[in-house]
Amino acid sequence: MSQDCKKLVLHDKHASLGARFAPFAGFEMPMHYTGIKDEHACVREKVGIFDVSHMGAFYLEGADAVRAIDHIVSNDISSLPMGKAAYTVMCVEAGGIVDDLIVYKLADNKVLAIVNASRAAVDFEHMNKHLAGKVKLTNRSDDFVMLAVQGPSAEAVVNPLVVAELKDLVYYGAVETKLVSGVAVTVARTGYTGEDGFEILIPNAQASTFYDQLMEAGRAYGIQPIGLGARDTLRLEAKLPLYGHELSLDINPLEAGLHWVVKLGKEVPFVGQDALVDLKGAGLKRRLRGVIMRERGVLRPDYPLFAGAEQVGVLCSGGPSPTLGYSIGIAYIAIAHADDKDGVEVEIRGKRSPVELTTKPFYKRG
C-alpha cells in the first residue's frame, strides 16, 4: 500500500469490517468487504453504506454565492429552488469538462459543491480563478465524513436517525438538519448507484458513532458496508459517467449526453458557454452510447469498436453487469454510427464480437 495515500477518518472501522483497501485518487479506499457481486446485490435488493469521504466538499458563502457558482457551472443554480441540489459540470473556456459535481443550494448566501476526489485540487484552483463578487470559497473536504446510504431500504434506515422527515425530501432535495442526537448534518437525496438513497455530511468527530447507528438501524434490513468496486459496477449499470473515463478535458458535455445540465440561455453566463454554443452549432462529432455484449466475455476500458473495417469508437468503461448477467460498457461513437442498430463489433484480444448500442441506462429501478 502506498505510503502517500491518505487514510479515511473511519479507516480502522472499515478494516474491522473486513475491508480490502486499494489506493484511489490519493486515498486508501475500501474496495470491497464480502465481495463485489454480493455487495452489488445488497444495494440493489436491500441497502448498503458507502464511505465516500474522499470526495471534495467546497463551500461558497456570501451575498453573491449563487451568482458566483452560476458563472462557474453549466446548470442554472439561480433558478434552482432553495433546498435543492443539481448535477452539473464545469468547463474550461474551450468547453472541455473540468469536473462533474453536485451543487447544493442550501441558502441564498450558501452553496455547497461536492466534487470528485481525483479532481478536487484542480477544481479548487479553477473555481478560485473564476470566482467573482462577494463570495468566499472554502475547501472543507477534510472537515467531514461523507456517507452514502443507498438501496430500496435507505429511507427506512436513515429516517429514524435524523430530525428532518425524509419522506418529504424529494429526489435531489438537500437539507441542513440534525441527527436525533443533536449533531448538525447535511442530508441530500442523491447517489451514484441508480437506487434511492441519501448522501450525508457529518463532522469527523461524530462520524464513527453515526456509522455504528446506521449499521444498527440497518441490521433488520440487511445493511452491509459497500466498497468502491461495487460502487463502480452500480454506477455503470445506471450508466452514470465517471470522470477520467467518460468525462475529461477533451470531452464536452454535449457529446457526453449532458445537454440537460447545460443551460445555454441562463441569466448568468458560464465559463465555456461560448465554446459550447459554437460546438452545438457546428454539430457533434461523437456521442456517448451504452454498449451491450450478449456473447460471453467482458467489455473493458480501451477496447476498440468497429463498424466493418472502420474504427468508430473506444470503450471508456466496461465490465460485467452483476444484475443483468452480461457485459456492459460506455463508449463514444462517431456520429455517423451512433444510431446504428447492428453491425457494430468490439475487438477483444484480436477477436470481434457483435455489440448493441443504447441511449438508455442499462438498469432502472422499478
List contacts with other proteins (CB under 8 A). Answer: 31-32, 35-37, 229, 232-233, 296-298, 300, 319-320, 322, 349
Residue nearer to other proteins on the CB measure, 257 or 329:
329
Residue nearer to other proteins on the CB measure, 218 or 225:
225
Place of cell 432535495: 173
Minimum distance, C-beta of residue 193 to other proteins, in the bound complex (Å): 15
Instruction: Go through 333-350 and write b for each residue having 16 or more CB atoms within 10 A of its CB, e for each that does not.
Output: bbeebbeeeeebbbebee
Q: Taking the CA atoms of the chain, what radius of gyration do you get in angstroms?
A: 21
Minimum distance, C-beta of residue 353 to other proteins, in the bound complex (Å): 12
Q: How many CA atoms lie within 13 A of 12 on its CB side?
A: 2
Residue nearer to other proteins on the CB measure, 259 or 300:
300
Minimum distance, C-beta of residue 120 to other proteins, in the bound complex (Å): 24
Minimum distance, C-beta of residue 37 to other proteins, in the bound complex (Å): 4
User: Amino acid identity of 294?
Assistant: R
Residue nearer to other proteins on the CB measure, 10 or 36:
36
Residue nearer to other proteins on the CB measure, 308 or 354:
354
116, 109, 105: which is closest to 77 by C-alpha? 105
Give CA–CA dist 311/366, Å, rounded. Answer: 36
Give CA–CA dist 210/165, Å, rounded. Answer: 18
CB atoms within 10 A of CB 218: 22
Residue nearer to other proteins on the CB measure, 48 or 229:
229
Chain centroid to CA 48:
16
- Residue 73: C-alpha distances to residues 26, 77, 353 (Å): 25, 8, 40
Minimum distance, C-beta of residue 257 to other proteins, in the bound complex (Å): 25
Minimum distance, C-beta of residue 235 to other proteins, in the bound complex (Å): 14
